[in-house]
């Protein structure tokens, strides 16, 4: 995972950066950066680590980009910086990785005044790795700053979270996010994709690059066919897994939220999928609000179980079977 030297801070993170820099002289031994997926947490952590190592930060606390520390950081060869992440995409951070880090972090810094480590994503640590890290957090060595980056910090043990200073990165206001997105995306798509991304601009940009607008029509078509009992949940789960299990489940959560709004108010305002209002209205007819809420809760739990050792294909199948039951119950 490369760290780009000339990365700039996203506008919605500037206020948080300023607050962090006010306390730089009293930097804690461990920070936990949290927030929704697609806000730029990793970039924030990288800039902060670079700032900690730099000898000549500017008035805003950003690294100079010129000193030896900055040059080594840009070349990904700084001896006082470590990045700990899964060895394979989608896999866990294991205890051996944390043990290897502990063996080096207790040594004095080589050339910088302090050492900096980023664990990303921290919630990918398995149970043994998190417990091993806890021992270090209980007796942290001097001259080290550990930055944990997590999309789902609740998956970390409470004992780990309680030993970190928690910095929650905010969802930007809608206008700021749209202005940023509209520099690269068509105006109409920017608004819809931002709603799909629950207000996270980088996630919205990623959805556009992955052609999710087209995939979304396939997902809804599958749900319509399952409701009519024209397609099997097992067959549709294959489509959903190819699009991306987590992405599909997040969209499913938004769709269910839209259906709850229809069922309670009949109003199409502020929908996650406003351009699909007519089709969503047809799907909502005759459904019971209690059952929609129950399914919504189950899908939220399914989202938490993805990226765990459980089989994501089976999780998708189970979710779609529960969707089918809504319409069987209706009959």
pLDDT (0 to 100) of residue 251: 93
Give residue limits of the domains in the chain: 11-168, 210-330
DSSP single-letter state for residue 279: H
Residue 54 has pLDDT above 90, yes or no: yes
Average pLDDT of the segment spanning 205-233: 94
Q: What is the pTM of this model?
A: 0.83
Q: Distance between CA atoms of 194 and 178, rounded to whole angstroms?
A: 8
Q: What pLDDT, in 10s, does the model give residues 149-166?
A: 998 899 899 999 999 999
Helix (H, G, I), strand (E, B) or coil at 108: coil
The Cα–Cα gap between 140 and 132 comes to 12
pLDDT digits (tens, 9 = 90+) for 7-35: 589 999 999 999 998 877 788 999 999 99
Instruction: Tell me which fold the domain 210-330 belongs to.
Output: Zinc Finger, Delta Prime; domain 3 (1.20.272)
Q: Is the pLDDT of residue 296 over 60?
A: yes
Q: Do the bridges between strand 165-168 and strand 30-34 make them parallel or antiparallel, or are there none, so unpaired?
A: parallel
204: nearest Cα among 171, 236, 237 = 171
H or E stretch covering 30: strand 30-34
pLDDT for residue 4 is more than 50: no
What digits encode the pLDDT tens for the residues 66-90? 999 999 999 999 999 999 999 988 7
6 pLDDT more than 60: no
Q: Which fold has domain 11-168?
A: Rossmann fold (3.40.50)
Q: Which residue has the higher pLDDT, 265 or 218?
A: 218
CA 74, 79, 82, 86 torsion: positive or negative?
A: positive
pLDDT over 90 (residue 329): no
> Both tokens of residue 131?
């417990």
Same fold, 11-168 and 210-330: no
> Where is 189: in which H helix or E strand?
helix 187-196
Helices (H) and strands (E) in the chain, counts: 15, 5
Q: Could you report how far apart the first and last alpha carbons of the chain are, in Å?
A: 51
b/e per residue, 284-320, with b = 16+ CB within 10 A? Answer: beebeeeebeebbeebeebbeebbeeeebeebbbbbb
Instruction: Assess whether pLDDT exceeds 70 at residue 1.
Output: no
pLDDT at 331: 55
Find out whether 125 and 133 touch, Cβ atoms under 8 Å: yes
Q: Name which of 35-39, 187-191, 206-210, 316-320 the model is least confident about.
A: 187-191
Contacts of 196 (CB under 8 A, 6+ apart): 204, 207, 212, 216, 251, 254, 272, 273
């Amino acid at each position: 995972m490369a760290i780009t030297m000339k990365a700039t801070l996203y506008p919605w993170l500037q206020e948080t950066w300023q607050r962090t820099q006010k306390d730089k002289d009293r930097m804690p031994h461990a920070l936990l950066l949290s927030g929704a997926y697609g806000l730029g947490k990793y970039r924030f952590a990288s800039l902060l680590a670079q700032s900690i190592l730099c000898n000549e930060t500017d008035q805003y606390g950003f690294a100079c980009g010129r000193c030896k520390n900055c040059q080594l950081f840009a070349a990904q060869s700084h001896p006082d910086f470590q990045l700990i992440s899964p060895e394979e995409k989608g896999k866990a951070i294991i205890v051996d990785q944390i043990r290897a880090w502990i063996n080096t972090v207790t040594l004095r810094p080589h050339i910088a005044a302090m050492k900096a480590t980023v664990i990303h994503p921290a919630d990918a640590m398995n149970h043994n790795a998190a417990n091993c890290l806890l021992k270090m957090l209980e007796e942290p060595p001097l001259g080290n700053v550990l930055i944990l980056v997590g999309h789902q910090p609740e998956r970390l043990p409470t004992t780990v979270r309680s030993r970190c200073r928690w910095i929650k990165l905010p969802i930007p206001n809608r206008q700021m996010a749209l202005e940023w997105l509209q520099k690269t995306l068509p105006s109409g798509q920017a608004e819809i994709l931002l709603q799909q991304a629950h207000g996270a601009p980088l996630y919205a940009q990623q959805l556009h690059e992955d052609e999710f607008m087209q995939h979304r029509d396939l997902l809804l078509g599958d749900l319509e066919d399952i409701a009519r009992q024209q397609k099997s949940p097992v067959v549709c789960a294959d489509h959903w897994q190819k699009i991306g299990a987590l992405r599909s489940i997040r969209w499913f959560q938004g769709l269910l939220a839209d259906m709850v709004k229809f069922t309670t108010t009949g109003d199409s305002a502020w929908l996650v999928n406003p351009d699909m209002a007519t089709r969503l209205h047809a799907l909502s007819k005759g459904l019971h609000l209690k059952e929609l809420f129950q399914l919504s809760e189950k899908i939220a739990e399914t989202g938490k179980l993805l990226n765990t050792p459980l089989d994501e294909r089976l999780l998708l199948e189970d979710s779609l079977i529960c969707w089918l039951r809504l319409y069987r119950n209706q009959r």
